[in-house]
Amino acid sequence: MKKQWNATELKDLDGIAKELLAFIGDHRLLCFYGDLGAGKTTFIKAICRQLGVKDEVQSPTFSIVNEYETSQREPVYHFDFYRLKTEEEAYDLGYEQYLYSNYFCFIEWPEKVDNLLNLKKVDLYISLANSKRQIKCEYD
């Protein structure tokens, strides 16, 4: 399945996040691809708002993983693998317990751990050009 959205303003992201969640159905593993500054974390914040997350959502660049809680008291896991040097570092984090939890897992820089993501997932490609953000979604 494929779908694409365009956002000309940040306020557009909440509506896109709502549409995305409806579009992906029961998928819970979302992988975010894009250059530095493309808006991966910004879009994850919009998705978290749609899930009822009240915690402050920020990039886990240094902690590698942040955990938030939805209004339904379910965890949401947010990974940023940018700083990983090897896939083995993901093993050290115990990534399996998160990815196999059936809760939402958002992964920034998933290309750093491609071989570990042999699961049912949604790939999101985010690009920014001329103040316009394009979000492409693909999944099987």
Per the DSSP assignment, residues forming a β-bridge with 132 are 129
Flag whether 31 is in a domain: yes
Q: Which residues of 90-129 are buried (b: 16+ CB within 10 A; e: fewer)?
A: beeeebeebbeeeebbbbbbbebbeebbeeebbbbebeee
Instruction: Tell me if 90 is assigned to some domain.
Output: yes
Print pLDDT tens along the chain (140 aa). Answer: 999 999 999 999 999 999 999 999 999 999 999 999 999 999 999 999 999 999 999 999 889 999 999 999 999 999 999 999 999 999 888 999 999 999 999 999 999 999 999 889 999 999 998 889 999 999 99
45, part of any domain: yes
In a domain, 32, yes or no: yes
Please report whether residue 138 resides in a domain.
no
User: For residues 28 and 121, is the Cβ–Cβ distance under 8 A?
Assistant: no
How far, CA to CA in Å, does 58 sit from each of 5, 105, 136?
23, 14, 22
Tell me the CATH number at 61. 3.40.50.300
pLDDT at residue 118, as a whole number: 84
Residue 20 is predicted with a pLDDT of 98
Residue 89 lies in a domain: yes
| Amino acid sitting at position 123 | D
Task: Compute and round to an integer the Cα radius of gyration of the chain.
Answer: 14
Q: 12-24 vs 40-50: helix axis angle to the nearest 10? A: 70
DSSP-derived letter for residue 15 is H
**Count of structural domains within the chain:** 1
pLDDT at residue 105, rounded to an integer: 98
* 103, amino acid identity: Y
In a domain, 140, yes or no: no
Q: How far apart are CA 101 and CA 99, in angstroms?
A: 6
> Quick one: pLDDT at residue 93?
87
**Can you give the pTM of this predicted structure?**
0.95
| Structural domain of 13 | 2-133
pLDDT of 61 reads: 85
